[in-house]
């Protein structure tokens, strides 16, 4: 790497960092695939594992094209191997800590971790693209943009998957009476019925009062008429 100019040396540095990250994620994805029981999610992880391996190969070729020596690539591979060890330990960690926890919760944690790693990769490739454009390296920029598109698609998938898995956790672990639409809705419906019944009674009361008043008035009129007729009869007899 002693023969590289400043521009290419910096590009090789950034590509080596990206390569190490791809190898790390390759190991992490393999562990997560084994922990995933949802078929569509597992299928997408497998697809991205294939993409990730392809990314690493493209980066390695570009490092060599820029003049990175075998020693440089080997150094990158050594760094990647160390990163892989960390990835496996990190990925296996949740398995030990989540014993007894539902599988939906476990997959949700994995998806969150994967989403975070995708965000780091997206930032890495955007940086490489910006640097390559600034120094006029179209080929490196082209490779980085192609990889970036796949990383962004995976991040979008994981974003949707996190929402799906969170709802699955609610369904699997939260009692039906404590979910939205459970007991609270029943109480709300009961209150509405009570209020409705109360309004109907209130609306009916004045009508009943009016009817009672008219009945009393008619009864009084009849009594008056009857008394008046009795008096007239009494007068005629005398």
pLDDT for the residue 102: 87
Does residue 56 carry a pLDDT above 70? yes
Alpha carbons 228 and 238: distance in angstroms, whole number: 16
Tokens of 143: 């490779």
Kindly tell me the burial class for residue 15, based on how many C-beta atoms sit within 10 Å of its own C-beta (0-12, 13-18, 19 or more): buried
* Residue written as token pair 């390759």: 26
Tokens of 7: 């521009």
Contact between residue 71 and residue 1 where contact means Cβ atoms under 8 Å apart = yes
CA angle 160, 166, 168 (to 5 degrees): 105
Sign, CA torsion 196/199/205/210 = negative
Alpha carbons 40 and 147: distance in angstroms, whole number: 22
Contact between residue 150 and residue 49 where contact means Cβ atoms under 8 Å apart = no
Mean pLDDT across the stretch 168-195?
A: 74
Residues of the chain above pLDDT 70, percent: 61
Which of these ranges, 53-62, 71-80, 96-105, has the smallest mean pLDDT?
71-80
Which of these ranges, 62-66, 103-107, 223-227, has the smallest mean pLDDT?
223-227
Tokens of 138: 């179209």
At 36, the pLDDT band (50, 70, 90 cuts) reads very high
Alpha carbons 118 and 109: distance in angstroms, whole number: 14
Averaged pLDDT of the chain: 80
More confident residue, 26 or 70: 26
Q: What are the chain's domains?
A: 6-173 (1.20.1260.10)
Does residue 96 carry a pLDDT above 50? no
């Amino acid at each position: 790497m002693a023969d590289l100019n400043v521009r290419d040396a910096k590009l090789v540095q950034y590509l080596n960092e990206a390569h190490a990250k791809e190898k790390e994620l390759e190991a992490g994805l393999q562990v997560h695939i084994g922990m995933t029981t949802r078929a569509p999610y597992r299928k997408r992880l497998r697809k991205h594992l294939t993409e990730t391996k392809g990314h690493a190969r493209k980066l390695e070729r570009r490092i060599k094209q820029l003049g990175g020596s075998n020693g440089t690539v080997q150094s990158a591979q050594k760094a990647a191997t160390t990163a892989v060890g960390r990835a496996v330990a990190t990925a296996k960690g949740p398995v030990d800590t989540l014993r007894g926890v539902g599988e939906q919760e476990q997959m949700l944690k994995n998806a969150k971790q994967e989403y975070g790693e995708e965000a780091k990769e997206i930032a890495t490739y955007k940086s490489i693209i910006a640097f390559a454009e600034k120094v006029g390296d179209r080929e490196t920029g082209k490779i980085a943009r192609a990889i970036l598109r796949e990383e962004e698609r995976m991040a979008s998938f994981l974003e949707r998957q996190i929402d799906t898995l969170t709802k699955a956790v609610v369904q699997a672990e939260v009692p039906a009476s404590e979910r939205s639409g459970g007991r609270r809705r029943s109480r709300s419906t009961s209150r509405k019925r009570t209020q409705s019944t109360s309004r109907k009674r209130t609306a009916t009361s004045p009508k009943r009062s009016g009817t009672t008043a008219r009945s009393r008035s008619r009864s009084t009129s009849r009594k008056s008429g009857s008394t008046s007729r009795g008096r007239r009869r009494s007068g005629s007899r005398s």
